[in-house]
Structure formats: C-alpha cells, structure tokens
C-alpha cells in the first residue's frame, strides 16, 4: 500500500501500520499508537482507514452515556444501519462492533477519553482479544488500533498489571521529526535559520501546517517570531500551556511550570532544579516523575558519573518558559516586538545554545566514527579526580560496552555563537585525558568541535593535519 503523497516522512510508521492492517492471520490483533499531541497520529490513522475502508472513531471528553451515544451513531453510519445504534453499555457496544467488523480495521482514537468514560473498556477488550485468538478457532481478522496522546495513560496501557499487557502485536510511538527531517519539512535552506526554528518549534509537524499556515520564516526571523509565536492571536501563543493542561495527571500547573522553568533556565540536576525553586529536593520528585511520564521532560544519564540530568523534551516548552512566561502580561498586551528585542540574548543562551548541543548529540548518534556507531551519546562531566578541574563535555560518544575497556569514540564541544579556537581543542584534550584516567579506552578518541559560528584559522589548520580532530560546521551537521 503506497503512502499518500501528503504524508511527509513516516516511512517506518506507515510500513508497520500497513503490515499490521494487511496481516492475513485469522485472529484478532491489537496495535497501540501513541505520541504527544500534534505529531500526526490521527493524520496517519485516517489515511490508513481511508485506504482500507476501516472504521475510525475519535472520542471526545464527555460523559459515558454521551460517548456511548456518539459511538452508536458512528457504528451505525459505518455499517450502513439506518438511524443509530442504541447500546446500553460499552460491553455490548464493543462486542457488537467486533462481531460486525470481522475482516476489518477498527481504529479508536483518543482512547484515553474512552477509558475515562468507562474504565472497564480495556478489560472488555482483553476478554474479546483472548476470545478471538487463533486457539479458539479464530475470531475473524479484526485489526484493532487504540490511539491517544495522553502519554501517561497510553504508556500504562500495556504495562505491568494492565489488562492489555502482552496483547498488542504492534506498539508505534509517533515521535517528532528529527532536526534534519524537520528542516526538509519546513523547506528551510539556510541551516542557521533551521537550527533556530527547530529550537523554537522542534519537530512537531502540525506547528507548520496548522499553527503558522505553512509560513516558514524568510530572511526576517524577528518579524516571523513576533507575528507567529509571540502574538496573542496566534495559536502557538497558548500552545505550550495547553500541552501541560492536556495531561490528565497534572493538577497544580503552577508547580509544574516552575519545574519546567527551572530546567529551561539551565538547571539540570534534581538538586539544582529544587534549589532554583527554593524547594526541597524531595518536593519535586513527584512532579519530575509525572513530567517524565508525560514525555514533557527527558531524563538522561551522565554516562561517566551515572547522575541523572533532566531536559525539557519539547522545544516550544523551553521557549515558553525562557521567553514567554516571564513576560506574559506584556505579551498579552500586544508588546511582542518589545519583549522579543529584550530577550534576544536569553534566546541565544537559554534556548538556541542548549538546543544546538542537543542537535550535536543527535548528530553524534548516527555519525560514522571510523566504522563504528555510538551506542550511547550524552553530555557528562570529565572529572579531574582532584588533580584537574571538572570539565563539562557537551557530547560524549561511547562504543558499546563489551568485556574490554569501553572505547570513547568522541568527546565534543558545541558553541552556537562563539568562534571556536585552539583553546576549545585544548579543553577537549584535557577532558579526554581525564576520561582516560577514569578507565576509558581513548586511543582513537575523536575530538569534535561543533561550531555554529565557525572556527578560527589556527584551529582549522590543526584540524586539517590531525585526523583525530573533527570540525563540524552547520552544513555538515545537516549533511
């Protein structure tokens, strides 16, 4: 089945979903499709349903009786029954649907709302899947897809003691586009502009199609940001807040914004976040866990010291916390220009700088390090063990752990707005030597300098002679 032309990228997801829909086995199968808001789950699933003539139902937040009525109407219309199906409960409704869709694709979108309407739905589905399995003589080729974006709910659907655990044959997480795909999607040729746009809007497809009417910034980023992001009339204006309020688990939004704000301000350890908020470390354990559960933040492990580092997972949230929230009332009054002029420095240091480091780690993850791919890439600290300074390294790329000493493929430093020089190289050499003292094999370690603003002549000359020094400029980052 050919992917429709208007679906950009998503080759892997499309292949997995069509394989699932076309699987000829004579038993019921379950797939789960999740992913944060606006990533294109519905878009993909509707395209799939259209192609195979499947049943597609999207739940909305409502009472159980109301939801059941809507479901009845949708089923009737799909099956060509006059009027509506008046189901008395979800058990009856679901059994009826599955009985009448024996050879079809059935998609239940926004499934968390259905679960909220009736929490027993997963158990009903479990029973039906088990009853319609091959050992029972087959239940027809029902292909059931459950989709939704409340990550905390969707994540738990198949976990632990959940009724549907072990029942899904496909589990697709629709992720944001990576930085390279995002640039193509936006059609931005200047890589410098592409990094900045990516630092604001990340890889969420809908932010281009639905939120800015497909308008990519031209030469004037300032004008575009003030019109498209910072003006109260634009849908992006409230989007970051909406991402948080959309999560069912989150009640005390002010607390959660404070946590996100602390991280966006550059505090990445639990202690650092807590002290920025003037709270005890134990007070923020729960919000951190919930935010991680909803995939709004990401926990990364410093591969050397094994400490947790927290990062905001959605660029727009970082942008909101760093630029918009502090100036919210001015923005509401329509002073986008003034606010933006006053936050340019913060935009470079708190938004683009850290995002650029992230992009460099993504680059390092699929770069060919002399015939080897990194198994792990993270930021970390090369500690001086009392003899030298602790050096923060932006990009540590490690080979897979085998029985020998672990190989350090690369240490890297990323600078967005500062020309890189021999001083940066010396610092990396020292970091490498300190990591050697910590037990890593550094014989072939590549010293990588990622420069958003270029490299000076002396450094360029050294790099030209030394194959262990790698200069990565913006075109190479996107190459």
Ligand X SMILES: Nc1ncnc2c1ncn2[C@@H]1O[C@H](COP(=O)(O)OP(=O)(O)OP(=O)(O)O)[C@@H](O)[C@H]1O
Which spans of this chain sit near ligand X (rule: CB under 6 A)?
Answer: 7-10, 35, 37-43, 149, 205-206, 209-210
Residue 38, contacted partner among ligand X, Mg ion, none, CB below 5-8 A by kind: ligand X
CB of 58 to ligand X, least distance (A): 8
CA angle, residues 149, 320, 348, in degrees to nearest 5: 125
Q: Which is nearer to Mg ion, 6 or 103 (CB)?
A: 6
Q: Which is nearer to Mg ion, 56 or 455 (CB)?
A: 56
> Helices 457-465 & 422-437, crossing angle to 10 degrees?
50
CB of 37 to ligand X, least distance (A): 4
Q: Which is nearer to ligand X, 250 or 364 (CB)?
A: 250
Q: Which is nearer to ligand X, 72 or 148 (CB)?
A: 148
Residue 191, contacted partner among ligand X, Mg ion, none, CB below 5-8 A by kind: none
Residues that bind Mg ion (CB under 5 A): 42
CB of 249 to ligand X, least distance (A): 16
CB of 9 to ligand X, least distance (A): 6
CB of 50 to ligand X, least distance (A): 13
Burial (Cβ within 10 Å: 0-12, 13-18, ≥19) of residue 272: middle
Q: Which is nearer to ligand X, 295 or 424 (CB)?
A: 295
CB of 109 to Mg ion, least distance (A): 6
Residue 43, contacted partner among ligand X, Mg ion, none, CB below 5-8 A by kind: ligand X
Residue 104, contacted partner among Mg ion, ligand X, none, CB below 5-8 A by kind: none
Instruction: Return the closest-CA partner of residue 362 out of 83, 120, 220, 175.
Output: 175
Residue with tokens 């409230």: 238
Q: Which is nearer to Mg ion, 107 or 309 (CB)?
A: 107
Instruction: State how far the Cα of 241 lies from the Cα of 235, in Å rounded to an integer.
Output: 11
Task: Give phi and psi for 267, each to the nearest 5.
Answer: -95, 115
Tokens of 434: 């300190």
CB of 347 to Mg ion, least distance (A): 31
Residue 1, contacted partner among ligand X, Mg ion, none, CB below 5-8 A by kind: none
Q: Which is nearer to ligand X, 188 or 414 (CB)?
A: 188
Residue 8, contacted partner among Mg ion, ligand X, none, CB below 5-8 A by kind: ligand X
Tokens of 269: 């350890």
What one-character DSSP code corresponds to residue 19?
Answer: H
SS3 for 347-407 is HHHHHHHHHHHHHHHHHHHHCCECCECCCEEEEEEECCCCCCCCEEEEEEEECCCCCCCCE
CB of 239 to ligand X, least distance (A): 11
Task: Give phi and psi for 110, each to the nearest 5.
Answer: 55, 45
Residue with tokens 């968390």: 112
Q: Tell me the Cα Rg of the chain.
A: 25
Residue 452, contacted partner among ligand X, Mg ion, none, CB below 5-8 A by kind: none
Residue 434, contacted partner among ligand X, Mg ion, none, CB below 5-8 A by kind: none
Terminal-to-terminal C-alpha distance of the chain: 30
Residue nearest to ligand X (CB): 40
CB of 36 to Mg ion, least distance (A): 11
Full DSSP string of 195-250: HHHHHHHTT-HHHHHTTSTT----S-HHHHHHHHTSSTTSTTTTHHHHHHHT-TT-
CA distances from 312 to 14, 256, 288 (A): 28, 12, 11
Q: Which is nearer to ligand X, 56 or 450 (CB)?
A: 56
Maximum alpha-carbon separation in the chain: 82
Q: Which is nearer to ligand X, 45 or 263 (CB)?
A: 45
Residue 7, contacted partner among Mg ion, ligand X, none, CB below 5-8 A by kind: ligand X
Q: Which is nearer to ligand X, 208 or 406 (CB)?
A: 208
CB of 59 to Mg ion, least distance (A): 10
Residue nearest to Mg ion (CB): 42
Pair 312, 262: CB distance under 8 Å: no
Pair 46, 53: CB distance under 8 Å: no
Residue 205, contacted partner among Mg ion, ligand X, none, CB below 5-8 A by kind: ligand X
Instruction: State how far the Cα of 346 lies from the Cα of 337, in Å rounded to an integer.
Output: 15
């Amino acid at each position: 089945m050919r992917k429709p032309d208007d679906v950009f990228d998503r080759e892997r997801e499309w292949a997995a979903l069509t394989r699932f829909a076309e699987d000829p086995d004579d038993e019921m199968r379950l797939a789960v499709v999740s992913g944060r808001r606006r990533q294109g789950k519905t878009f993909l699933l509707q395209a799939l349903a259209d192609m195979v003539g499947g049943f597609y139902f999207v739940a909305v937040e409502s009472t159980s009786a109301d939801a059941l009525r809507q479901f009845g109407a949708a089923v009737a219309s799909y099956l060509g029954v006059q009027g509506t199906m008046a189901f008395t409960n979800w058990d009856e409704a679901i059994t009826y649907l599955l009985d009448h869709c024996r050879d079809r694709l059935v998609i239940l979108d926004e499934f968390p709302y259905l679960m909220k309407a009736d929490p027993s739905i997963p158990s009903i589905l479990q029973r039906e899947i088990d009853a319609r399995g091959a050992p029972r003589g087959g239940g027809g080729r029902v292909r059931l897809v459950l989709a939704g974006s409340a990550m905390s709910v969707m994540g738990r659907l198949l976990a632990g003691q959940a009724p549907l655990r072990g029942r899904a044959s496909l589990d697709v997480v629709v992720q944001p586009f990576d930085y390279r795909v995002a640039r193509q999607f936006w059609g931005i040729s200047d890589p410098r502009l592409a990094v900045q746009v990516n630092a604001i809007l990340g890889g969420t497809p809908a932010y281009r199609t639905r939120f800015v009417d497909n308008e990519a910034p031209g030469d004037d980023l300032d004008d575009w940001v003030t019109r498209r992001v910072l003006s109260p009339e634009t849908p992006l204006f409230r989007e970051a807040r909406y991402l948080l309020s959309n999560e069912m688990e989150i009640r005390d939004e002010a607390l959660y914004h404070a946590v996100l704000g602390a991280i966006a301000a550059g505090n990445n350890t639990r202690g650092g976040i807590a002290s920025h908020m003037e709270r005890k470390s134990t007070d923020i354990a729960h919000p951190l866990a919930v935010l991680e559960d909803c995939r709004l933040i990401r926990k990364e492990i410093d591969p050397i010291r094994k400490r947790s580092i927290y990062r905001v997972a959605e660029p727009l949230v970082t942008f909101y916390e760093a630029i918009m929230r502090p100036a919210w009332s001015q923005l509401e009054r329509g002073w986008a220009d003034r606010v933006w002029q006053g936050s340019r420095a913060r935009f470079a240091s708190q938004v683009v700088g850290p995002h650029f480091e992230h992009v460099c780690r993504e680059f390092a993850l699929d770069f060919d390090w002399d015939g080897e791919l990194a198994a792990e890439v993270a930021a970390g600290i090369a500690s001086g063990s009392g003899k030298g300074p602790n050096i923060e390294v932006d990009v540590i790329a490690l080979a897979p752990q085998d029985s020998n000493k672990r190989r350090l493929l690369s240490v890297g430093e990323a600078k967005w707005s500062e020309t890189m020089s021999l001083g940066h190289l010396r610092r990396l050499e020292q970091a490498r030597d300190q990591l050697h003292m910590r037990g890593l094999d550094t014989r072939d370690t590549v010293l990588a300098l990622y420069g958003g603003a270029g490299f000076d002549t002396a450094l360029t000359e050294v790099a030209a002679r030394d194959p262990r020094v790698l200069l990565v400029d913006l075109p190479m980052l996107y190459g």
